[in-house]
Amino acid sequence: MVDQTAVSAPDQADEDALRLLSGTQKCAILMLLLGEDEAAEILKNLSPREVQQLGTAMYSVADVDQKTVNLVLDEFLAIIKAQTSIGLGADVYIRRMLTKALGEDKAGSILTRIMPSSSSRGIEILEWMDARSIAEMIEGEHPQIIGLIVAQLDYAIAADVLILLPAEIQHEVLHRVATIDSVQPEAIEQLEKVMQLQFQANTSLRASKIGGVKAAAKIMNFTQSATEQRIMRNLQKIDKDLMMNIQENMFVFENLIAVDDKNLGVLLRNIEPEDLAIALKGADERLRDKILGCMSARAAASIIDEMEAKGPMRVTEVQEAQKRIVATARKLSDAGTMVLAGRGDDYV
Q: Where are the domains of the chain?
A: 4-82, 122-249, 253-334
> For residues 149 and 144, what is the distance between their CA atoms, to the nearest angstrom?
9
pLDDT greater than 90 at residue 291: yes
Residue 3 DSSP label = -
> For residues 334 and 156, what is the distance between their CA atoms, to the nearest angstrom?
11
Confidence band for 29, pLDDT divided at 50, 70 and 90: confident
Least confident of 110-124, 147-161, 300-314: 110-124
For residues 121 and 149, the answer to whether their CB atoms sit within 8 Å is: no
> For residues 158 and 150, what is the distance between their CA atoms, to the nearest angstrom?
5
pLDDT at 81: 60
Mean pLDDT of 164-193: 79
For residues 219 and 162, the answer to whether their CB atoms sit within 8 Å is: yes
Phi (first) and psi of residue 218, to 5 degrees = -65, -35
pLDDT at 7: 43
Q: For all residues of the chain together, what is the average pLDDT?
A: 76
- For helices 12-20 and 66-82, what crossing angle results, to 10°? 70
Instruction: Give kind and range of the element (H or E) at residue 86.
Output: none
pLDDT greater than 80 at residue 197: no
**DSSP 3-state of 237:** helix
> For residues 125 and 263, what is the distance between their CA atoms, to the nearest angstrom?
35
Confidence band for 275, pLDDT divided at 50, 70 and 90: very high
Confidence band for 123, pLDDT divided at 50, 70 and 90: low
Confidence band for 63, pLDDT divided at 50, 70 and 90: confident
Least confident of 101-105, 169-173, 194-198: 194-198
For residues 208 and 183, the answer to whether their CB atoms sit within 8 Å is: yes
Confidence band for 170, pLDDT divided at 50, 70 and 90: very high
Mean pLDDT of 315-324: 85
pLDDT at 334: 67
Tell which wins on pLDDT, 21 or 114: 21
Phi-psi region of 311 (alpha: psi -120 to 50; beta: other; left: phi over 0): left
Answer yes or no: CATH 1.10.10.60 is held by domain 122-249: no
- Whether 122-249 and 4-82 are alike in CATH topology: the answer is yes
pLDDT at 207: 40
Tell me the CATH number for domain 253-334.
1.10.220.30
pLDDT at 276: 93
Confidence band for 25, pLDDT divided at 50, 70 and 90: confident
Query: What is the per-residue pLDDT across 130-159, written as a single tens digit (0 to 9) for each?
Result: 788 788 878 878 888 888 888 878 888 888
Confidence band for 33, pLDDT divided at 50, 70 and 90: confident
pLDDT at 111: 62
pLDDT at 211: 67
- In this structure, which topology does domain 4-82 adopt according to CATH? Annexin V; domain 1 (1.10.220)
